[in-house]
């Protein structure tokens, strides 16, 4: 129903609304760390700034993301959404030929990966 509205209400819109209304409420608990909406808003803004200024990303450029299941995945996704960059989610367990195929199919301008993924392209 929300997507039928014009303009459509996105997950980014919902996140921003919660960040405004409940900035200090927990959004993510990872191991023994708690991230509030305010924390994630700040981290995603910093990531968006860095991706825009340092990497030259702009609206419409696709970014392939190869990150493990960790908090940085959330603010990376939000940062890309804030920039208007489609995100091609790559499974960090895929290697070799399957990974090369996924990268080719994504037609991404940039690949974001964690340090732990360096050298594992097979």
Average pLDDT, the chain: 89
Which residue, 108, 105, 109, 101, is CA-closest to 121? 101
Could you report the per-residue pLDDT of 18-31, keeping only the tens digit for each? 999 999 999 999 99
- Specify the pLDDT at position 9: 82
What pLDDT does 59 receive? 95
Better-scored residue on pLDDT, 82 or 100: 82
Decide: helix, strand or coil at residue 42: helix
Tens digits of residue pLDDT in 51-60: 999 999 999 9
Provide the residue ranges of all domains of the chain, joining segments of one domain with +.
11-113
| Predicted model pTM | 0.85
Q: What are phi and psi of 26, to 5 degrees?
A: -65, 135
pLDDT, position 121: 46
Domain spanning 11-113: CATH 3.40.50.980: yes
Percent of the chain residues topping a pLDDT of 70: 90
């Amino acid at each position: 129903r929300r997507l039928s509205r014009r303009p459509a209400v996105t997950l980014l819109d919902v996140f921003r609304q919660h960040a405004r209304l409940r900035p200090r409420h927990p959004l993510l608990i990872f191991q023994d760390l708690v991230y509030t909406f305010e924390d994630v808003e700040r981290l995603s803004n910093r990531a968006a700034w860095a991706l825009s200024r340092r990497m030259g990303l702009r609206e419409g450029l696709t970014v392939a993301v190869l990150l493990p299941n960790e908090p940085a995945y959330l603010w990376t996704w939000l940062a890309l959404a804030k920039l208007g960059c489609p995100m091609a989610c790559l499974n960090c367990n895929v290697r070799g030929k399957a990974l090369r195929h996924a990268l080719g199919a994504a037609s991404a301008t940039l690949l974001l990966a964690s340090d732990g993924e360096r050298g594992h392209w097979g």
